[in-house]
Chain A
Amino acid sequence: MAIGDLALGHEQSKSAVADADRRVVNDFSIQVATVNGSGSQSANSVLLRSIFGMGVPVSGKNLFPSNIAGLPTWYTIRASKDGYVARRKANDIVVAINPETAKDDILALPAGGVAVYDESMNLKQYRDDVACYPVPFDKITAAICPEAKLRKLVRNMVYVGVVARLLNIEMSSVEAALKKQFAKKQKAMELNFGAVKAGVDYFNEKLTKHDPYFIEPMNATKGKIIIDGNAACGLGAVFAGVTVVAWYPITPSTSVIEATIEYLKKLRVTEEGKATFAVIQSEDELAAIGMVLGAGWAGARSMTATSGPGISLMAEFSGLGYFAEIPGVIFDVQRSGPSTGMPTRTSQADLLSVAFLSHGDTRHVILLPGSVKECFDFGYKAFDLAERLQTPVFVLSDLDLGMNNWMSDPFVYPSTPHDRGKILTAEDLHRLGSFGRYEDVDGDGIGYRTLPGTDHPKAAYFTRGSGHNAKAGYTEKPEEYVEVMDRLVRKWETARTLVPEPVVVRNGYSKVGILAYGTSDFAIQESLDELKKGYDAEPDYLRIRAYPFSTAIHDFVASHERIYVVEQDRDAQLASLLKLDLAAEQVAKLRSILHYNGLPLDAETVTAELVAGEGL
C-alpha cells in the first residue's frame, strides 16, 4: 500500500489535469518511494536541505518498515510557505523508485498530481490525470558512474537532479546541501553532484514541464537549524551534564543514545583525554534502569532512553525509584503498541502506563516536548527536576518527533546553573549532627539526601524499596507508612509547581477549547487556521507540556464549555489522565479526537472531527 490514508483512484476526477494557469508555489508535498537499505536517505536529505536552502519552510518524514533492507519505504517532504510541518494526508508529487509499490504510489496521487518514475515501469497507463515524467535512471547512472557497486547509491541522486529541475530549485542550493551531506568527502561530493547534474540535463533534453508545482526563493529559513528530536534530547542531556548513560537498543529511541555518545565524545573529554562520562550498553532494559538508579543514588546525573517494550520492562525499578526517591532521567520515544506493535510507526499511547509505571501507588513526573527545541530544553531540564524532586523523570517524545528532521530556531543556552537538589555535605552534617533521609524539613515533601562517600560517620542511610519511616528505617507500622505516602503526595504538589507550564496558544476567544501535547501540536496549529478560514471558528488551544498538570490546565478547562482533547492513541489516555485530576463537574466537558493508525496526525483529521463535533 502507499503510505497516505487517502487512496484516491483515478476515477475521482479526469477533468483535473493541470490547467495551464494553476501555479502552486512553496506549498505541496513530495513523496519518494524507495526500497529500504538502498541508500535513499542521503538523497532525500539533500532534497530537503535544497528546499531549506531556498529559504522555504520544509519538513521531512521518513516512513520506514521494521526491516534492514528490501522492504518499501517512503520519505515525505513538505514545503510550506506558511510554515506548516504536520503530515498531509495526500501528496502532490511522487517519486516512484520502488517497482513493487509504484502502481499503488501513482494511484494514490490526487488528480493533477505529479509522478517521476523509471521509464521501464510505464506508470502512465494507470493515470491520465497526472503529470508523468518517465526517466531512464539506470542508463543515466551507468553513463556517469563507471563503478558498478556505487551505482545503486548514485542512482538516487539522479532523481534529486530531476526533481530539483522540475521544481526550479536552484543548483547552488543543491550544491550547498550536498556539501553539508558529504562534509569532507570530496570524491563522493563530486560523484553525487555529477549525478544531480545528469538528472537536470536529462530533464532539459527530454522532458517538458507540464505541472503547476514550483519552489521559489523565500527568506523564511534564515538562521534556522535542522535537527531530529532524538539528537536534540541527547544534546540537552549533554549540556545538563549527564555522567552515566545506560541503555539497551530499541527503535525508535536508539538514536537518542547514539547522538548522546557522539556529543559526549566531542564535548566531554578532558584535556588529558579522560572521560567525564560513562556509557554502558546493558543486557536489557531492566538492567538499564537499574544502572540509572544505582548511579543516581550515588550522585551521578544518569539517563536511559527506550520505547514501549522497554518501558514495560522498567516498571518494577520505576516504582523503586519513586518510593526510594532516586533521581534518574528516562527518555521514552513512543512507537505504536501494544506489544511489539509497529516499531517504526509513531504513537502517544505510553502516556498512561508511564504516568503510573509500576505496582502500588506510584506516580511519575513526565515532560512532554512538542518540538525539537523542547526536546533540547526538556532534555536539559529533566535532570534538574529529577535531582530537585529526587525521583525518576520521564521525557515522553515519539517516533515522529524523534526520528524526523525538523526546522527550528537555534537552541538557547541554558543559563541557570545545574540544580543538584537537596544534598547534605560532610560540613552540613558537622553542623546538623545528624539527619533523617525522609523527613520533610522544608514542608515541600522533599527530604535531604547524602551521597555515598560523604566523609561523616552519620552520613549513611539505608535505601530500600520496602516500607520505611522518615529516618529511612524499615517499618511495617501503619502510621509510619502513611506518613511517607502522604509526604510523597506533598512532593507531587511541589512537582506540579516546578514542571514546565502549558503553552496557551489562544485563550478567551471561544467557548470551545483544545487540549493536546507533543507532536499533535503541528496538526492542530494548521487546523486552527483551517477552522478560521473555512468555518470562521476560533477555538482556544492550550498545549500541555508536563504531568502533573499545572493548575493553568484546570483553569483552562473551567473557563470553556467544551474541551476537545486531541491525542494519538486509541484509548483517550490524556483525557483519562485529565479526568483523574479534574473536578467532577469539569469532566463532562471533555470529548476526544483520537488518531492511532501509526502515521503522524494531520490537520484534516482534527478539522473534520472538530467540525463534526461542533456541527459547523
Chain B
Amino acid sequence: MATATLPPKNSPGPKVNRLGLPILEYRGGKSTLCAGCGHNAISERIVDALFEMGVQPERVMKLSGIGCSSKSPAYFLNRAHSFNSVHGRMASVATGAVLANHTMKALGVSGDGDTASIGMGQFVHLMRRNLPMIYIIEDNGVYGLTKGQFSATADYGSKLKTGVINDLPAIDTCSLAIQLGATFVGRSFSGDKKQLLSMLKAAIAHKGTVMLDVISPCVTFNDHEGSTKSYKFMQEKDEPINEIGFVPSFEEIDVEYDHGTTLDVTMHDGSSLRLRKLLEDYDPTDKVLAVKTLMQSHENNEVLTGVFYVNTEMPTFIDLLNLVDSPLGTLDQLQTKPAREVLDRMNASLQ
C-alpha cells in the first residue's frame, strides 16, 4: 500500500508526510507497559496511521479510561491534548469534549474491562449516538493492573494462568456496536500490522462512531496455553473476512480492482476503503448479516477480523444537534451572552 509520505525537499533528512512533519512528531512518551504487550504495537500503528494520513497532531484529542490500555495515550502523539479519565467512563468525557469542539478528531482508547464491564453503560450509549470519534478497545480478556482476573470479553472455556476456567459467555463488543448504531465497526489483531494500519487509516477518514476491537495479547497474564486471547491462539484462529485496502483522498486512485470480489466504499473525506471479500457473500453494509456472521463465528469457535460494518450515510450526533460551525468551546460572549434588552424583555414577560 502506498503511504502519504513525500520525499523531503533537498535533503536526505527523515521522511516527512504531507504536512511536512516527520514521524517523530507523532510519537509519545516511552511505554511503561510490559515488553511484548499488544498495546504497544497498537500505539505504533496509531502513530503510523496519523502520520500517513497527515493529521495535524494538535487537531487530535486523546481520551481514555483506566487500565493498561488507558495508559497508552501517553505513548503516542505527545503533541495532542490527552485526558486519562476514570474507570469505564471515557465515553462520557469524550462525548462532552466532542460537543465542545466537534472540529477535532477524538481518539478514545479503552480496554475490555474498561469497556465491557465497568464501562458497559456508557459504551452502549456512545454507540447509539453515532458520535464522531474513534473508539479502540485494546482487548486482552483480562485485568492486567490487578493481576489477571477475567474480563467480560474472555471467551467461554478460556483458561486463566491459575487454572480457572471462564464459564460465562463473552460479550462481543463488535456485534453490540453494530446493533446499537456505530457506523464503522471492525476487529483486528495487534499482531496484524497491515490489517490494523489500514483499518485505522479508514477510521480516521470516517465521520461517525468508529468502534475497533483489537485483540491485544497480555504477555504477562493471558498468553498461555488454554487462553483464547494469546498470540498463538490468534495466529491459529484469526479468520479475516475481508482484505482491507485504503486509498486516502490525497492520493491518486490508480489500482484496478475486481468489482465482483471487492467493495469500494467512498469515505466522507473522499478517500476509498476497498474491502476484498474473503468470506463468501459477506456484505459489510448489511447490518443484519454482520451480526449474524459474528454470532455464527462464536458457534464455530473462530475469531473473525476485518471491517464488519460500514455506513457512511447515517447522520452523526453532531449533525442532529445542528451546531454552529465554530467549536462551542471557543465561542465568545457576543455569541453566547444575550443582550441587556433581552433580559428586560424576559423580566417584562414575568410580571
Interface residues of A (CB under 8 A from B): 223-227, 235, 238-244, 246, 267-268, 270, 273-278, 280, 282-284, 286-302, 316-317, 320, 410-411, 413, 415, 417-418, 450-457, 459-466, 474
Determine if B85 is an interface residue (Cβ-Cβ < 8 Å).
Answer: yes
Given A410-B347, A474-B74, check contact A461 B96 (CB 8 Å): no
Tell me, rounded to whole Å, the shortest Cβ–Cβ distance linking A481 to chain B. Answer: 16
Determine if B288 is an interface residue (Cβ-Cβ < 8 Å).
Answer: no
Determine if B146 is an interface residue (Cβ-Cβ < 8 Å).
Answer: no
Interface residues of B in 308-351 (CB under 8 A from A): 321-325, 327-331, 333, 335-338, 340, 342-344, 346-347, 350-351
* Cα–Cα, bound, A464→B66 (Å): 10
- From B99, which residue of chain A is reached at the shortest CB distance? A278
Given A286-B122, A295-B97, A453-B59, check contact A277 B85 (CB 8 Å): no
User: Contact at A294–B333, with CB atoms within 8 Å?
Assistant: no
Tell me, rounded to whole Å, the shortest Cβ–Cβ distance linking A53 to chain B. Answer: 10
User: Contact at A293–B93, with CB atoms within 8 Å?
Assistant: yes
List chain B residues, Cβ under 8 A from A417.
Answer: 333
- From A288, which residue of chain B is reached at the shortest CB distance? B92
Determine if B82 is an interface residue (Cβ-Cβ < 8 Å).
Answer: yes
User: Contact at A302–B333, with CB atoms within 8 Å?
Assistant: no
Q: Chain B 75-97, CB within 8 Å of chain A: the 1/0 string?
A: 00011111111100101111111
* Cα–Cα, bound, A274→B336 (Å): 12
Beyond A294-B93, A453-B330, A461-B81, 10 additional contacts (C-beta under 8 Å) are A223-B351, A241-B333, A273-B322, A276-B331, A278-B328, A291-B99, A295-B97, A298-B329, A410-B347, A457-B57
User: Contact at B122–A317, with CB atoms within 8 Å?
Assistant: no
User: Contact at A243–B83, with CB atoms within 8 Å?
Assistant: no
Determine if B170 is an interface residue (Cβ-Cβ < 8 Å).
Answer: no
User: Contact at B82–A462, with CB atoms within 8 Å?
Assistant: yes
User: Contact at B84–A287, with CB atoms within 8 Å?
Assistant: no
Tell me, rounded to whole Å, the shortest Cβ–Cβ distance linking A152 to chain B. Answer: 29
28 contacts between A and B (CB under 8 A): A225-B351, A239-B338, A270-B335, A274-B323, A275-B321, A276-B335, A278-B323, A282-B125, A286-B122, A287-B91, A287-B95, A290-B86, A291-B95, A292-B96, A294-B96, A295-B100, A297-B100, A298-B98, A299-B101, A299-B327, A300-B101, A302-B100, A411-B343, A452-B80, A453-B81, A460-B58, A461-B82, A464-B83
List chain A residues, Cβ under 8 A from B330.
Answer: 299, 451, 453
* Cα–Cα, bound, A235→B347 (Å): 11
Q: Which of B122, B329, B331, B333 has the most CB of A within 10 A?
A: B329
* Cα–Cα, bound, A593→B89 (Å): 41
User: Contact at A452–B61, with CB atoms within 8 Å?
Assistant: yes
List chain B residues, Cβ under 8 A from A461.
Answer: 81-82
User: Contact at B82–A460, with CB atoms within 8 Å?
Assistant: yes
User: Contact at A320–B86, with CB atoms within 8 Å?
Assistant: yes
- From B93, which residue of chain A is reached at the shortest CB distance? A294
Determine if B270 is an interface residue (Cβ-Cβ < 8 Å).
Answer: no
- From B340, which residue of chain A is reached at the shortest CB distance? A413
User: Contact at A286–B79, with CB atoms within 8 Å?
Assistant: no
Interface residues of B (CB under 8 A from A): 25, 57-59, 61, 63, 73-74, 78-86, 89, 91-101, 103-104, 121-122, 125, 321-325, 327-331, 333, 335-338, 340, 342-344, 346-347, 350-351
- From B96, which residue of chain A is reached at the shortest CB distance? A294
Tell me, rounded to whole Å, the shortest Cβ–Cβ distance linking A125 to chain B. Answer: 44
Tell me, rounded to whole Å, the shortest Cβ–Cβ distance linking B104 to chain A. Answer: 5
User: Contact at A290–B79, with CB atoms within 8 Å?
Assistant: no
List chain A residues, Cβ under 8 A from B82.
Answer: 460-463
User: Contact at A270–B324, with CB atoms within 8 Å?
Assistant: yes
List chain A residues, Cβ under 8 A from B325.
Answer: 274
B-side interface mostly: helix
* Cα–Cα, bound, A273→B327 (Å): 16
List chain B residues, Cβ under 8 A from A463.
Answer: 81-84
Candidates B92, B101, B103; contact of A282 at CB < 8 Å: B92
User: Contact at A274–B322, with CB atoms within 8 Å?
Assistant: yes
Given A268-B338, A284-B121, check contact A294 B95 (CB 8 Å): yes
Candidates A297, A300, A462; contact of B328 at CB < 8 Å: A300
Q: Which of B81, B94, B338 has the most CB of A within 10 A?
A: B81
Q: Which of A244, A273, A294, A415 has the most CB of B within 10 A?
A: A294
Candidates B59, B125, B350; contact of A227 at CB < 8 Å: B350
Tell me, rounded to whole Å, the shortest Cβ–Cβ distance linking B61 to chain A. Answer: 5
* Cα–Cα, bound, A240→B338 (Å): 9
User: Contact at A453–B91, with CB atoms within 8 Å?
Assistant: no
* Cα–Cα, bound, A169→B347 (Å): 25
User: Contact at B93–A459, with CB atoms within 8 Å?
Assistant: no
Given A290-B89, A453-B327, check contact A280 B333 (CB 8 Å): no
List chain A residues, Cβ under 8 A from B328.
Answer: 243-244, 276-278, 295, 299-300
Tell me, rounded to whole Å, the shortest Cβ–Cβ distance linking B336 to chain A. Answer: 3
- From B77, which residue of chain A is reached at the shortest CB distance? A460
* Cα–Cα, bound, A158→B281 (Å): 72
A-B CB proximity, top 9 nearest: A294-B96, A299-B329, A290-B92, A241-B336, A298-B100, A300-B100, A291-B96, A295-B96, A294-B93
List chain B residues, Cβ under 8 A from A275.
Answer: 321-324
- From A283, which residue of chain B is reached at the shortest CB distance? B125
User: Contact at B122–A287, with CB atoms within 8 Å?
Assistant: yes
User: Contact at A296–B96, with CB atoms within 8 Å?
Assistant: yes
- From B102, which residue of chain A is reached at the shortest CB distance? A278
Tell me, rounded to whole Å, the shortest Cβ–Cβ distance linking A266 to chain B. Answer: 9
User: Contact at A286–B81, with CB atoms within 8 Å?
Assistant: no
Tell me, rounded to whole Å, the shortest Cβ–Cβ distance linking A226 to chain B. Answer: 6
* Cα–Cα, bound, A450→B338 (Å): 26
- From A284, which residue of chain B is reached at the shortest CB distance? B121
List chain A residues, Cβ under 8 A from B344.
Answer: 413
User: Contact at B336–A243, with CB atoms within 8 Å?
Assistant: yes
User: Contact at A290–B85, with CB atoms within 8 Å?
Assistant: yes
User: Contact at A294–B100, with CB atoms within 8 Å?
Assistant: yes
List chain B residues, Cβ under 8 A from A457.
Answer: 25, 57-58, 79
List chain B residues, Cβ under 8 A from A244.
Answer: 96, 99-100, 328
* Cα–Cα, bound, A452→B325 (Å): 16
- From B104, which residue of chain A is reached at the shortest CB distance? A453
* Cα–Cα, bound, A274→B100 (Å): 15
* Cα–Cα, bound, A320→B89 (Å): 12
List chain A residues, Cβ under 8 A from B83.
Answer: 294, 297, 463-464
Candidates A283, A295, A410, A452; contact of B121 at CB < 8 Å: A283
User: Contact at A294–B94, with CB atoms within 8 Å?
Assistant: yes
* Cα–Cα, bound, A282→B128 (Å): 12
* Cα–Cα, bound, A455→B82 (Å): 15
User: Contact at B343–A413, with CB atoms within 8 Å?
Assistant: yes
List chain A residues, Cβ under 8 A from B86.
Answer: 290, 316-317, 320, 465
User: Contact at A267–B331, with CB atoms within 8 Å?
Assistant: no
- From A468, which residue of chain B is reached at the shortest CB distance? B84
Candidates B61, B121, B323; contact of A286 at CB < 8 Å: B121
Candidates A240, A267, A289, A453; contact of B342 at CB < 8 Å: A267
Given A418-B337, A465-B85, check contact A243 B351 (CB 8 Å): no
Candidates A280, A418, A464; contact of B84 at CB < 8 Å: A464
List chain A residues, Cβ under 8 A from B85.
Answer: 290, 293-294, 320, 465
User: Contact at A300–B96, with CB atoms within 8 Å?
Assistant: yes
Tell me, rounded to whole Å, the shortest Cβ–Cβ distance linking B144 to chain A. Answer: 16
List chain B residues, Cβ under 8 A from A410.
Answer: 347, 350-351
User: Contact at A239–B343, with CB atoms within 8 Å?
Assistant: yes
User: Contact at B96–A298, with CB atoms within 8 Å?
Assistant: yes
User: Contact at A243–B100, with CB atoms within 8 Å?
Assistant: yes
* Cα–Cα, bound, A396→B351 (Å): 26
* Cα–Cα, bound, A460→B61 (Å): 9
User: Contact at A453–B58, with CB atoms within 8 Å?
Assistant: yes
Q: Which of B86, B96, B336 has the most CB of A within 10 A?
A: B96
Tell me, rounded to whole Å, the shortest Cβ–Cβ distance linking A197 to chain B. Answer: 25
- From B80, which residue of chain A is reached at the shortest CB distance? A460
List chain A residues, Cβ under 8 A from B97.
Answer: 294-295, 297-298, 452
Tell me, rounded to whole Å, the shortest Cβ–Cβ distance linking A335 to chain B. Answer: 24
List chain A residues, Cβ under 8 A from B95.
Answer: 246, 280, 282, 287, 290-291, 294
* Cα–Cα, bound, A266→B74 (Å): 43
